[in-house]
Amino acid sequence: MAGSPRELEIKLRLPRAAAAALPRQAVVRALQRGRARTETLSATYFDTDDGRLARNDIALRLRRSGRAWVQTVKGPALDDAGGGLAARAEYEWTLAAGARMPGLDLAAVAATPLGKRVARAAAKASFGARFTTNFRRTTIPLAFPDGTRASLCIDVGEVRAPAPGRRRRAFCEVEIELADGDPLRLFELALALVDALPLAVEARSKAARGHALVTGSPPRPATAADVQMPEDGDASAALAAIVRNCLRQIGANADGLAVDDDPEWIHQMRVGVRRLRSCLALARRLVPPAALGHLEDDLRWLAAALGPARDLDVFVHETLPAMRQASGHATAGTPAAAVSTFEPVLASLEEHARARLDAARRDARDAVASKRMSRLLLAGGALAATPGLGASAGSAEAAALAQPAAAFAASILGRRHRRFAKRVAGLAGMPPAERHRTRILAKRLRYATEFFAPLFPGRRTRAYRMALADLQAVLGTLNDAAVAAALAAELGDPASPGAALFAGWAAARGESVAQPLERACRAFARASPFWK
């Protein structure tokens, strides 16, 4: 087995017409050490016909350059991934040279941590070659002033699916791969290149694109995942892990949002943005403004770009159908003429809402396709890669970030819990504006709870998270009704029948959740803080 077992690289895509300009960039010329090398590469990827390896985020390939053959197996994304950085376990073996493709050396793979999963796939009758990649690669060796070494690779080619169909998908991408040294240098170079050229962060590997081409199955929206905290890590390492986790959710939903109208793409990206903003709020007093840069402003911008589309998605796909059902039930037994008056009002609101939704989706897609989006992802990754999150050595901030992650988390969670718990008892009788502020506190507490829960495994943690999630769900129902009423007033005349209808419906929703709200408040009050 040869080569490093760990691959760290930033992957960017660019228009094919811009590929020739990249090696001429001043920042690349300043870092280049040695001549560029160009070669033709072809690779065959292996899996079962139902994509067993792909489902486990494992890629197994044979790659050819001239007469040389290299076998590679790559594992799932590691905790270091996020913000444009791909981090995976990677194992490589040089096989016998020749014009014909050799057989796979599965005995070598068996000696790796991925061996059992590959062996189970290889035992299936349907295991075999699934797709190929063919491309020209230009490799430029780089050396940074601090001694970090990397390579910049420009790949231009296509993914090919076999017969029947023989589908093809062209690609042009840049990989900045770390050889040894500091990963932060990769982010700095990527940010400089994004400023100069029409580059965008590429979240998918060649293997993922090949699997999608063969199966024809679209990717699914990425939901929030538990943060994998570093063992015995300090507060800065924990916060960096949270940043990368949030960035993975944001970046993984970008491609789907660009081409698919499924509301979940926007919803899940918006959740990722909110989670990251909540994480940065935890670190704001400890991280120097220079380290944060424009990241907080960019997150506010992205949230503003996604918000209208998400609100209108909920209005069109959830609220209006619920309204139709509710109005039908409310008018049962009344004259038909009275029943029929609701539908024209709702139909008019729906027509206006769908027109606004189309425009809002275009705005969201424009934002996600912009340079600012790429800079946001890379700047977030750079922050997570900065030792100690940039706090000055010897400062009070550095000392706070150096404390054990569990102690830091307990302090944060205790403070947020006390602030929210004071309001829970009076939730039922709160005026709407005050209840909305309390809902914001609940959301901040829930995000912090989700971030740090892996540090405190156990029943108490699960019980607390469940009680808080149930309470926030009831508050979310009330908020959705209030947003719907406001949207109905915006879409027409505030004094229109539609606005009046939704105002009444929102009030009715408030009454309908009074008992669930009371039960959720009692359950949360009984939940024991798990960090003590």
pLDDT for 447 beyond 70: yes
Domain 6-217 has CATH 3.40.50.720: no
| Predicted confidence (pLDDT) per residue in 379-431, tens digit | 999 999 999 999 999 999 999 999 999 999 999 999 999 999 998 888 878 88
Res 331 pLDDT > 50:
no
Residue 206: name the closest of 381, 386, 115, 74 by CA: 74
Among 32-46, 148-162, 207-221, name the one with the lowest average pLDDT.
207-221
The predicted model gives 178-189 an average pLDDT of: 97
Nearest to 192 by CA among 383, 23, 27: 27
Which helix (H) or strand (E) segment holds residue 75: the answer is: strand 68-77
Q: How many residues does the chain have?
A: 532
pLDDT mean over 80-89? 92
The amino acid occupying position 245 is N
DSSP letter at 82 equals: B
pLDDT reported for residue 412: 95
* Confidence (pLDDT) at 79: 86
Return d(Cα 359, Cα 313) in angstroms, integer.
12
pLDDT at 467 over 80: yes
Give, as one character, the DSSP assignment of residue 391. Answer: P
Average pLDDT, the chain: 91
Q: What is the pLDDT of residues 257-306, one digit of tens each?
A: 998 999 999 999 999 999 999 999 999 999 999 888 899 999 999 999 99
CATH architecture of 231-323+360-392: Up-down Bundle (1.20)
pLDDT digits (tens, 9 = 90+) for 188-246: 999 999 999 999 999 899 999 999 999 887 789 999 999 999 888 999 999 999 999 99
Q: How far is the C-alpha of 465 from the C-alpha of 442, rounded, in Å?
A: 11
